[in-house]
Structure 1
Amino acid sequence: MTAWSFHPGPAIFGGSDAAARIADVLPQDGPCLFVTDKGVMSLGLANRWIAALEDEGHRLVVFDAVEADPSETTLLAAVEAGKIAGVSKVVGFGGGSPMDVAKLAAYLIGSGDDVDDIWGVERATGQALPLALVPTTAGTGSEATPVAVITCVGDEKRGVNARALVAAGTALDPDLTIGKPRALTAATGIDAMVHAIEAYTSAHKKNPVSDLYAREALHLLGGNLLLACEEPDNRKARGAMLLGAHYAGIAFANAPVAGVHALAYPLGGIHHLPHGLSNALMLRPVLEHNRAAANELYAELAPILCPDCEDEGSQSLTARLIEWLGELVVASGLEPRLRDHGIARDDIPMLAREAMKQQRLLVNNPCPIEEEDAARLYEAAW
């Protein structure tokens, strides 16, 4: 057997009482930096959690200035707020953006490192502050991963991938996702499905355990995404989506994502499309590009989403998988073309050039994506 390794990620606390239990992973001494965004605060989603943490003896310093696709400026402001307050631990509460800022803030405050010295893979080797993460959407899986992504100067998305960013604990409470808008549910859910698919077909570090998580993630997500879209208060569907997104996060934390994400990042960084939507737009073109190289693996995934196609050949199974995913994007209510979101055809050469900067992701794709390939794939998505 080829050598492989697997990291299980943070401790998981599930259910509506997880707020009190997650406090157990945080030290009692010193203030706690609570990283979130103004939308979460205005909806009152954090109130119960803040009260529960304070009841457990934690004094919170709330930083709620995180925006979508958070900037390096925002990250450094969070770090500064934590340093001024002398915090000894960090909680990230919200979607992927607050959690990514919390992960990097915990590391930068704890280690004293400069952010420019840690971009890339396993360059953050210092000691982070204790960290807990609480997702309020079912999509990014950031609570499960050692990855954080920040938008830097020139709208370039840069990432840190290092074990030092893994949280001590995460809380999965479906009540936090109840009633989320259809478009958000669809985009974040498809984002999670992309995590699972790309982990299963990753050219590097794919392993039997990450495969198990990826397959179960697809089962949960594929079986519940439309139900969660159509019945936003369905707690069972929301819980399945939240767990599926977490499983997908564990999968891609061990077997990294690839071409779909690489081509999605310029759409978010430059055109400010939501990350999940960007992935949904590029999913079908990239899977078609990978079809020959990943045919057998796609065929293995197809029956999870299309149970009636088990007896077909691998080529047919792969075609069914790609078709099913394309139909899912439309059925979820997302507009499926780049032009539907204000992206001009003339932007394609620039998008292709920017995608080539995501080599840390492109190397994981089942087959190469060169600049001319990227341009062709954006054209197919347009």
Structure 2
Amino acid sequence: MHPFQFHTTPGLIVKAGVTARLAALAGSLLGPRILLVTDPGILHLGLHAAALADLEAAGHKIAAFAEVEADPSRDTLLKAVALGRDAGVTGVLGFGGGSSLDVAKLAALLLGSSEDLDRAWGVGLAKGPRLPLVLVPTTAGTGSEVTPVAIITVGEGEKRGVSSTVILPDLAVLDADLTLSLPPAVTAATGIDAMVHAIEAYSSANANNNPLSRMLAMQALDLLSANIETAVFDGSDKDARQAMLLGSLLAGQAFANSPVAAVHALAYPLGGLFHIPHGLSNALVLPQVMRFTLPSAAPDYAALAPAFDVSLADVADETSRAEAFIDALAALSARLGLPQRLRDAGVPESALPQLAADAMKQTRLLVNNPRPVTEADALAIYTAAW
């Protein structure tokens, strides 16, 4: 066994309805003045209302920042930091999807240390300290509540990431009640996103690919595949919703330590240039990236296949089982009603060379792919997905 490191969020609470008692669970950690980071949709639905009422009843002052957009920009992050600084906050509460949680992570970092953001981009460069941080996901996809990564859009659609254990939160709270109103399309896309995390973590070429991540990825894929269709087509099923949240978290723990690769590298430009939601971006390129990577990852894909669909264990040949797994993933995406081609998501064919060029900037991800990806390879993958 080769040496490895494994880091994750130290505190986890998994219980439906638990955010209504957030003051008792996290109030002392967050302190008297809390920066809430969320998005307009959460504000409109009032998903945060019970948590905020509980915190305010316990005497906490809330500075609410509810301007986080999909693929959040640097300007959005800096606005949240400015609000938190003006309010003299003592802790940060991230409440929402991956975008809100990513902004919350970096807001906690910048408020706690006044660190230079431009020196923090990359792996292991953010030093901290940060303010106390609690994250409450409202989608079952990103696993951001247990990852040391935050992604921000800078410039003309370019995405940059901070990857550092410093921004792992102190506590993650998984409350299935918060996901019951999630629309079917969002449930589907974020669920596929979580599956991608599990698949890429298990097969990652990163030197820190490790037995714990592989175990978590396998369990995550089992939970997600068994519950995603119920969650999409019967969104009121609380057990399925809680299982999806847990599956997303386990996949997040896996890829936080055995990082993702080319699927994400090719998905990011779709979000940056065309504002396609991250989960859908992953779903659109997943089958083609896996088919490209198959010659170098067949044993891993074959090992994962029965966790996705137990009947695939009957396919004796390793390569055939891996191919059947890829086909089954594509079929699931279609059953869930997600767009199947880049053209279906509004991407013009003329944009494919720019997408390929932008994907090459994601060096921290591409290095983890079992099969190296050149710009010509990326263009061929996008073309096949178009």
User: Do these two structures clear the TM 0.5 threshold for a shared fold by scoring above it?
Assistant: yes
SS at match of 1:159: strand
SS at match of 1:3: coil
Match of 2:46 among 27, 44, 47: 44
Residue 340, structure 1, aligned to residue 344, structure 2: yes
Distance in 2 between the 1:370 and 1:19 partners?
A: 49
Counterpart in 1 of 2:8? 8
Residues 329-378 of structure 1 show CA distances to partners (whole Å, capped at 9, x for unaligned) of 10010011000011111111110000000001000111101100000000
* Correspondences of 1:187-336 after superposition (within 5 Å): 187-204=189-206, 205-311=208-314, 312-336=316-340
Q: Could you tell me which amino acid in structure 2 is paired with residue 348 of structure 1?
A: L
Deviation at 1:210, TM superposition (A): 0.6
Distance in 2 between the 1:9 and 1:255 partners?
A: 15
Distance in 1 between the 2:260 and 2:57 partners?
A: 39
Residues 121-151 of structure 1 show CA distances to partners (whole Å, capped at 9, x for unaligned) of 0110120000000001110111111100000
Counterpart in 2 of 1:362? 366
Residues 59-110 of structure 1 show CA distances to partners (whole Å, capped at 9, x for unaligned) of 1111111111100000000001001111110000000111000000000010
RMSD (Å), alpha carbons: 1.2
Deviation at 1:179, TM superposition (A): 2.7
Q: Could you tell me which amino acid in structure 2 is paired with residue 105 of structure 1?
A: A
Residues 196-254 of structure 1 show CA distances to partners (whole Å, capped at 9, x for unaligned) of 00000111111000111100100010111111111011111111101000111111111
Counterpart in 2 of 1:144? 146
CA gap of 1:306–1:24, structure 2 versus 1, over 3 A, is: closer
Distance in 1 between the 2:59 and 2:253 partners?
A: 31
Equivalent pair of 1:22/1:171 in contact (CA under 8 Å)? no
Equivalent pair of 2:287/2:330 in contact (CA under 8 Å)? yes
Equivalent pair of 1:265/1:355 in contact (CA under 8 Å)? yes
Q: Could you tell me which amino acid in structure 2 is paired with residue 237 of structure 1?
A: A
Deviation at 1:18, TM superposition (A): 4.2
SS at match of 1:2: coil
Tell me the number of residue pairs that the alignment of Structure 1 and Structure 2 aligns: 382
TM-score (norm 2): 0.97
Deviation at 1:6, TM superposition (A): 1.2
> Structure 1 residue runs of 4+, over 6 Å off?
none
Counterpart in 1 of 2:64? 62
Deviation at 1:309, TM superposition (A): 2.4
Deviation at 1:22, TM superposition (A): 6.8
Distance in 2 between the 1:223 and 1:29 partners?
A: 39
Deviation at 1:24, TM superposition (A): 3.8
Q: Could you tell me which amino acid in structure 2 is paired with residue 145 of structure 1?
A: T
Deviation at 1:28, TM superposition (A): 6.0
Deviation at 1:180, TM superposition (A): 1.3
CA gap of 1:144–1:28, structure 2 versus 1, over 3 A, is: closer
**195-204 or 26-35, which moves further after superposition?**
26-35
Residues 268-302 of structure 1 show CA distances to partners (whole Å, capped at 9, x for unaligned) of 00010000000000000000011010000000001
* Correspondences of 1:115-126 after superposition (within 5 Å): 115-126=117-128
Equivalent pair of 1:20/1:56 in contact (CA under 8 Å)? no
Distance in 2 between the 1:57 and 1:240 partners?
A: 34
Match of 2:79 among 74, 77, 80: 77
Counterpart in 2 of 1:17? 18
Equivalent pair of 1:19/1:171 in contact (CA under 8 Å)? no
